[in-house]
Amino acid sequence: AKKWYVGGNTNLGTSTIFSIEVPALVCAKSLSETYDPKEVSSWAIRIAEKTTVEDAIFFYKAIRMANPSYLGRVTEAPIPDVFDPLFEEKLKESEKTLWDVWKHSSSWDIVSENCISGLKIVVEGFHAIDKYLSILRNWNLAIISAYLELLSKYRDSLILRKHGREVQEEVSEEAKEVLNTLISDIKEGLVLLKRFDEKLYRRKINPGSIADIIAGSIMLALLNNLRP
């Protein structure tokens, strides 16, 4: 993706989610003959726990290639900094697997947290899409509502890194308000949604980590043939 899209690294978080979700989906379908979220979650944990040092090295290389501007630096940590020129040697010496890397990052990064938790919030997003499809009878509105629900409940790592906790909490509160209005009055809710979107754009606030999560939820919803 980086070869044809050079304006940023919008695929990094989603690709990380998919790196666990896709093999988990394949295992669930091949061995359990289902895309049931519980089975997918169970397989995701097993796959993540079986990752290797080589997997961690390739993950580091992918991040270095994407070169995200928002990424902080790791110092005095049990894992090497991703931009450390000796990262490969250090990962091998310490025998850190991709699971170890995600485990260390999970305290501040919601994508890493999902990779070691059996896609917990991805599955929650799937159930939210299912719920809002029943209420709103519209795919687009259901996905937007599920996204707003997750944004209102969980910290967006990208907002936290770039803007701090106060802004992140403000965004979560406003997402909750927009969601509640959208459910009770679609017309008024869409007005608030547009204002919310414009406000985020104007302030250069990008809730991209929750977007990465909801992308995984959408994949799960499509494969389970959810319908309004």
* Band of pLDDT at residue 11, cut at 50, 70 and 90: confident
Segment 177-195 shows an average pLDDT of: 98
> Is the whole model's pTM more than 0.95, yes or no?
no
**Does 212 lie in the same domain as 162?**
yes
Owning domain of residue 97? 12-116
Alpha-carbon radius of gyration of the chain? 18
**pLDDT interval class at 65 (50, 70, 90):** confident
**Does residue 128 sit in the same domain as residue 217?**
yes
pLDDT band for position 1 (cuts 50, 70, 90): very low
Q: What is the CATH number of the domain that holds 148?
A: 1.10.4200.10
Q: Looking at the domain assignment, is residue 201 inside a domain? A: yes
Work out the average pLDDT over 197-222: 97
Using the 3D structure, point to which of 84, 116, 148 is the last residue of a domain.
116
Domain boundary residue, one of 72, 98, 116: 116
Same domain? For 155 and 124 the reply is yes
Same domain, yes or no: 46 and 100: yes
61 and 144 part of one domain: no
| Residue of 220, 28, 226 whose CA lies nearest to 123 | 220
CA nearest to 37, candidates 228, 227, 222: 222
Q: Look at residue 75 in the predicted model and tell me its pLDDT.
A: 63
Question: In the 8-state DSSP scheme, what is residue 107?
Answer: T
pLDDT at position 70 is 61
Q: Are residues 46 and 61 in the same domain?
A: yes
Distance between CA 99 and CA 56 in Å, rounded? 8
Question: DSSP per residue over 133-183, as a string?
Answer: HHHH--HHHHHHHHHHHHHHHS--HHHHHHH-HHHHHHHHHHHHHHHHHHH
Q: At what angle do helices 139-153 and 165-184 cross, to 10 degrees?
A: 140
185 and 105 assigned to the same domain = no
Mean pLDDT, residues 180-199 taken together? 98
Counting the structural domains of the chain, the total is 2
- Last residue of a domain, which of 92, 116, 140? 116
Integer angstrom CA distances of residue 223 from 48, 51, 151: 21, 25, 23
